[in-house]
Amino acid sequence: MSSTATDVVGVVLAAGRGSRLSPITDFVPKPLLTVDNERLLDLALARLGAVVADVAVNAHHLAEKIADAATAFRPSVHVSFERERLLGTAGALRHLRDWIDGRPVLVNNSDLWLSDPIDRFLDDWDRERPRLLVRDMGRPADFGTYRYMGVSTVPAKVAAALEYSPDGLYSAVWKDAYRRGELEFVELTGRSFDCGTPAEFLTANLSASGSSSVVAPDAQVLGDLDRCVILSGARVAAGERLVCAIRDRFGNTLTADPADVAS
């Protein structure tokens, strides 16, 4: 597909708490954390914006920060606030029903980092069957040997039928569609990380940057780093040595087992 699809809308899922990266995510929502000094939310918005014309973001945890960042990156982004509670993926799309307005939906997890664009993900899609971006793991995974990689489509009639529930799309849509042989799979090219744990976040940064550590331009590092991410405004004092660590501007430090972090 050489141009953006005007009949498909995009939704970036950005409402979660990111609890596995707490306490860093107690102050900064996970989608606003950076991989190679680029915010995950910005990457997700750019990824969908290259494929579809209209994009929405859902927001719950630290919602105003998500909203401000999304509209600063792309003023036309529609922000769907989930003020009272986290709605889950199915509930998030139900909450957006009026905005979706009977169109198919391209869904993207905001904590996803991909090395390759998804510009051709909608090519030849019939708009009738859910389509998932997957990687063949060579072992049992989500669907046979395929593992879901954070990008999917929801046909218009399916999106219109979703109700408020805590379910994800697996329970609400994919499980029965897979049983009926109605799921489409597009195999991932390039590298991917979901950035949900300290080890995954560190590995994504090191892979994306090709560096031994990633330091934000306004961070101050006087000590030694080994496979670390030093976020915006953070400081590493003289004499400190951090190994497989993430540090934020508030002095919070998360570490990962070095065996789980790819160098």
Helix (H) or strand (E) holding 203: helix 198-209
**Percent of the chain residues past pLDDT 90, beyond the cut:** 94
Which residues have C-beta within 8 Å of that of residue 201, sequence separation ≥ 6? 21, 33, 35, 193, 195, 229, 246
> Same domain for 256 and 184?
no
Q: Using one digit for the tens of pLDDT, what is the confidence trace for 192-201?
A: 998 999 999 9
> Same domain for 73 and 104?
yes
Residue 37 tokens read as 């000094």
Question: 11 has which bridge partners?
Answer: 56, 107
Q: Using one digit for the tens of pLDDT, what is the confidence trace for 56-102?
A: 999 999 999 999 999 999 999 999 999 999 999 999 999 999 999 99
Alpha-carbon gap, residue 64 to 73, rounded angstroms: 14
Q: Using one digit for the tens of pLDDT, what is the confidence trace for 162-177?
A: 999 878 899 999 999 9
> Same domain for 211 and 112?
no
The HSE-up count of residue 87 (CA atoms within 13 Å, CB side) is 21
CA nearest 12: which of 66, 65, 64, 61?
Answer: 66
> Same domain for 89 and 209?
no
> Same domain for 216 and 148?
no
> Same domain for 76 and 158?
yes
Query: Three-class SS of residue 241?
Result: strand
Q: Is 15 exposed, middle or buried (0-12, 13-18, 19+ CB in 10 A)?
A: buried
Mean pLDDT, residues 157-162 = 96
> Same domain for 15 and 132?
yes
At residue 263, the pLDDT reads 67
Of 137, 168, 192, the last residue of a domain is 192
Q: How many residues are recorded in the chain?
A: 263
> Same domain for 184 and 203?
no
Cα 220 off chain centre by: 28
Tell me whether strands 146-154 and 131-136 are parallel, antiparallel or unpaired: antiparallel
Question: Predicted confidence band at 5 (pLDDT cuts at 50, 70, 90)?
Answer: confident
Structure pTM?
0.95
CB contact at 8 A, 186 and 121? yes
Question: 9 has which bridge partners?
Answer: 54, 105
What CATH number corresponds to the domain at position 17?
3.90.550.10
Tell me whether strands 245-247 and 241-243 are parallel, antiparallel or unpaired: unpaired
Which ranges of the chain does DSSP label H, i.e. alpha helix? 24-27, 40-49, 63-73, 88-95, 97-100, 156-161, 169, 175-179, 198-209
Position with higher pLDDT, 18 vs 5? 18
Mean pLDDT, residues 20-40 = 97
* Radius of gyration for the alpha carbons in the chain, expressed in angstroms and rounded: 19
Average pLDDT of the residues of the chain: 95
Question: Predicted confidence band at 6 (pLDDT cuts at 50, 70, 90)?
Answer: confident
> Same domain for 25 and 112?
yes
At residue 3, the pLDDT reads 57
> Same domain for 161 and 219?
no
Position 35, amino acid: V
Residue 165 tokens read as 């529930």
> Same domain for 186 and 206?
no
pLDDT at 2 over 70: no
- Please give the tally of structural domains in the chain: 2
Of 192, 221, 242, the last residue of a domain is 192
Of 139, 167, 192, the last residue of a domain is 192
> Same domain for 56 and 168?
yes
- Which residue range is the domain that position 204 belongs to? 197-260
Which ranges of 76-180 does DSSP label H, i.e. alpha helix? 88-95, 97-100, 156-161, 169, 175-179
